[in-house]
């Protein structure tokens, strides 16, 4: 369950196969940079929630725990 940028209350990132970020960007009419930031939890909002949902359900995205020591 994804709620407000958290997966079961924990920070996460979504990893999608090669080329899928660009397809997501075209589908939602946003930039690839925006999609990248959404998948790393740097951006939020309704459109971001939709991007995460589609990435996981239709484009084979995998939810991974975000590193707490990450310098992103």
> Token pair 């990132």 is at which residue?
13
Q: Which residues contact 47 (CB under 8 A, 6 or more apart)?
A: 28, 30
pLDDT-based confidence at residue 63 (cuts at 50, 70, 90): confident
**Given a cut of 90, is residue 35 above it in pLDDT?**
yes
Q: pTM value? A: 0.75
Cα(12)–Cα(28) distance, integer angstroms: 21
Higher pLDDT, 65 or 15: 15
């Amino acid at each position: 369950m994804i709620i407000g940028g958290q997966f079961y209350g924990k920070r996460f990132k979504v990893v999608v196969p090669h080329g899928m970020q660009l397809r997501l960007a075209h589908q939602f009419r946003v930039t690839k940079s925006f999609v990248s930031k959404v998948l790393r939890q740097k951006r939020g909002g309704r459109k971001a929630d939709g991007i995460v949902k589609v990435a996981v359900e239709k484009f084979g995205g995998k939810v991974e725990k975000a590193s707490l020591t990450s310098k992103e």
